[in-house]
Amino acid sequence: MRILHLDEQRGWRGGEQQASYLIRGLSLRGHFVAVAGRADSEFLRREHGLQNLTRLACPFRGELDPSTVWRLAQAVKRLDIDILHAHTSHAHSLACLARAFAGRGHVVVTRRVDFVPKPGFFNRRKYAMPDRIACVSHCIAGILREFGVPESRLSVINSAQDPARFDVTPCSRAELGLPEDAPLFGNVGAFVGHKDHATLIRAFRKVKENLPEAHLALVGDGELRTEIETGIASAGVAGSVTLLGYRKDVPRILPVFDAFVLSSKQEGFGGVCAEAMFSGVPVVSTDAGGMIETVKPGITGLMVPKENPAALAAAMLRIIQDPDLAAELADRAMGYVHEHLTADRMVENYIALYETMLRET
């Protein structure tokens, strides 16, 4: 098969890492892969573990950009593309339009967020155009089904991780400027609204009332950084919270944490919790979106209602104060992710989906 992957994001987040796993896995299995993105984007610049990868730079000026549509359509014809795989919302529309102008190819869109699509004719048409929408969780598939996408056009393929990525030498706490002996909670995520760092900060303040020596490390950056810094100061915990910024070495940082805490109020799948599980770190999570498909309450982690600082604090304390429970959760989680959430399994699921789409022509 010949697959063109589209992603218009400039930065590198979980979705781009997932696409990268897929690109490399497809190529290693003998399929032709090409990537399309902005000229200055991480997605286009990265090697994805491959040599001589075919790359297509496009403007991506919005989801109806005629210049990008034309370039994509020409590439689809020139490269004999069978599948256009869009990994973002804007790429979704552009892939469908490029397919129409090229007169060939099938479109699959990966949907990673549990937001309800906006109403209106344009969005109804947009979500009717792809041959398949691959949702990273059953939660997302349910949202699109309620929105009106036919069941026949929906598939569920969980996000995944490459276990080899976590076979690294961990950072030391000293290297990160973190206290050596403090009970250490960690969170990894962009500083954006749906990650709900505000609830995590309020929960951590409650934790400190019972566990004064506790410390919290936040890995990430984003538009709400100033607001988060203000919230930390207002909560009176500034001396016990370290902001580590955006990091490319998250697998080296995760093992430093005594517990990983996800406070999101919206979450498509929660791949970062799977990362913590591959690292052997016990997880506390809210019940946002598709989290139930990664964190099995009381089995692979502890789960609490979203936007509930008191419940989150109680779970954080429990996982620190009961080390036997923490070890059991981490051990079961490690087994679960190695069985169900590896990149190899995800790649094979996408290949099966592509083959099904091609057979249906």
Same domain, 236 and 107: no
As given in the structure block, the two tokens for residue 319 are 């996982």
Same domain, 43 and 128: yes
Domain boundaries, position 227: 164-340
Instruction: Please enumerate in sequence order all residues whose Cβ is within 8 A of that of 350, keeping only pairs 6 or more positions apart, or say none.
Output: 22, 26, 134, 157
Determine the pLDDT at residue 14. Answer: 85
340 confidence band (pLDDT: 50, 70, 90): very high
pLDDT digits (tens, 9 = 90+) for 164-209: 999 999 999 999 999 999 999 999 999 999 999 999 999 999 999 9
Which of 13-17, 69-73, 128-132 is predicted with the least confidence, judged by mean pLDDT? Answer: 13-17
Same domain, 156 and 277: no
Same domain, 187 and 216: yes
Same domain, 44 and 122: yes
Task: Indicate the residue type of 173.
Answer: R
Same domain, 322 and 176: yes
Give the span between the Cα atoms of 172 and 262, in whole angstroms. 22
Determine the pLDDT at residue 299. Answer: 96
Same domain, 142 and 74: yes
Same domain, 45 and 150: yes
Closest CA to 92 of 152, 154, 6: 6
As given in the structure block, the two tokens for residue 104 are 């060939």
138 confidence band (pLDDT: 50, 70, 90): very high
How confident is the model over 250-276, as a mean pLDDT?
95
Same domain, 26 and 155: yes
Task: Indicate the residue type of 269.
Answer: F
Determine the pLDDT at residue 320. Answer: 97
24 confidence band (pLDDT: 50, 70, 90): very high
Is residue 111 over pLDDT 80?
A: yes
270 confidence band (pLDDT: 50, 70, 90): confident
Give the span between the Cα atoms of 67 and 192, in whole angstroms. 31
Give the span between the Cα atoms of 24 and 17, in whole angstroms. 11
Average pLDDT, the chain: 95
Task: Indicate the residue type of 245.
Answer: G
pLDDT digits (tens, 9 = 90+) for 36-58: 999 999 999 999 989 889 999 99
Same domain, 223 and 314: yes
Determine the pLDDT at residue 205. Answer: 98
> Over pLDDT 90: what percentage of the chain?
90
Same domain, 8 and 122: yes
Determine the pLDDT at residue 52. Answer: 87
Determine the pLDDT at residue 193. Answer: 95
Q: Which residue has the tokens 């290297």?
A: 175
pLDDT digits (tens, 9 = 90+) for 213-222: 999 999 999 9
Same domain, 264 and 200: yes
For residue 227, give the CATH number of its domain: 3.40.50.2000
Determine the pLDDT at residue 13. Answer: 85
Q: At what angle do helices 225-234 and 197-210 cross, to 10 degrees?
A: 20
112 confidence band (pLDDT: 50, 70, 90): very high
Determine the pLDDT at residue 122. Answer: 86
Q: Which residue has the tokens 């399309």?
A: 36
Determine the pLDDT at residue 25. Answer: 97
pLDDT digits (tens, 9 = 90+) for 296-339: 999 999 999 999 999 999 999 999 999 999 999 999 999 999 99
Determine the pLDDT at residue 5. Answer: 98
The reported pTM is 0.87
Determine the pLDDT at residue 243. Answer: 98
How confident is the model over 351-359, as a mean pLDDT?
96
104 confidence band (pLDDT: 50, 70, 90): very high
How confident is the model over 130-146, as a mean pLDDT?
95
How confident is the model over 127-141, as a mean pLDDT?
95
How confident is the model over 12-27, as a mean pLDDT?
94
Q: Which residue has the tokens 């098969």?
A: 1
Total of domains in the chain: 2
As given in the structure block, the two tokens for residue 60 are 């991506």
Is residue 361 over pLDDT 80?
A: no
- Print the SS3 string covering the chain: CEEEEECCCCCCCHHHHHHHHHHHHHHHCCCEEEEEECCCCHHHHCCCCCCCCEEEECCCCCCCCHHHHHHHHHHHHHCCCCEEEECCHHHHHHHHHHHHHHCCCEEEEEECCCCCCCCCHHHHHHHHCCCEEEECCHHHHHHHHHHCCCHHHEEECCCCECHHHHCCCCCCHHHHCCCCCCCEEEEECCCCHHHCHHHHHHHHHHHHHHCCCCEEEEECCCCCHHHHHHHHHHCCCHHHEEEEECCCCHHHHHHHCCEEEECCCCCCCCHHHHHHHHCCCCEEEECCCCHHHCCCECCCEEEECCCCHHHHHHHHHHHHHCHHHHHHHHHHHHHHHHHHCEHHHHHHHHHHHHHHHHHCC
Determine the pLDDT at residue 120. Answer: 86
